Structures are given as structure tokens and as C-alpha cells.
């Protein structure tokens, strides 16, 4: 695979996902599907933060601020 990431980036990404899951008291899909269905305010805030971070990351990567 020509576009494969180096092992250190994959490991770092996994650590950050694990840290975020612990910090957010659950995973993104858990908050997004189950938490929002229950009407949890905490889950709503978590989903808003996840989505804002995803949009910011995508913007930075696509417009020259990324690692690639």
C-alpha cells in the first residue's frame, strides 16, 4: 500500500482514541446512538465536541495544516 501510514502514527492514533474514549466516558457511537436516544445532555455535548473536532481536523488536513 503506497498510502499506508507509518506504524508510529497508527499507534499514536490508537492511543489518542483510547484516551478520548476514557475522557469522554464512552465511545463516539455509544454517545451518538444510545446517549442521544436517551436524551442525555452529556452525550449531546460529547457528540457536538466530537463533530467539531472532526470538522476542524478535516479542514486542517485538507488545507495544508496536516501531517501529509
pLDDT at 20: 79
List Cβ neighbours of 61 (8 Å cut-off, separation of 6 or more).
Answer: 67, 68
Is 2 domain-assigned?
Answer: no
pLDDT at 61: 82
Is 41 domain-assigned?
Answer: yes
Whole-number average pLDDT of the chain: 83
Could you tell me the three cell numbers for 17?
482514541
Is 18 domain-assigned?
Answer: yes
| pLDDT tens digit sequence for 41-67 | 988 998 898 899 889 988 888 887 655
68 has a pLDDT exceeding 80? no
Is 45 domain-assigned?
Answer: yes
pLDDT at 18: 86
Q: What is the mean pLDDT of residues 24-52?
A: 87
- Give the domain extent around 57: 8-62
Is 1 domain-assigned?
Answer: no
> Are 26 and 35 within 8 A, CB to CB?
yes
Is 68 domain-assigned?
Answer: no
Number of domains comprising the chain = 1
Is 67 domain-assigned?
Answer: no
Amino acid at each position: 500500500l503506497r498510502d499506508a501510514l507509518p506504524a508510529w502514527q497508527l499507534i499514536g492514533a490508537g492511543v489518542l482514541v483510547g484516551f478520548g474514549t476514557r475522557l469522554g466516558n464512552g465511545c463516539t457511537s455509544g454517545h451518538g446512538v444510545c446517549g442521544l436516544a436517551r436524551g442525555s445532555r452529556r452525550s449531546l455535548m460529547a457528540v457536538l465536541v466530537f463533530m467539531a473536532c472532526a470538522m476542524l481536523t478535516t479542514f486542517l488536513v485538507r488545507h495544508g495544516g496536516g501531517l501529509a
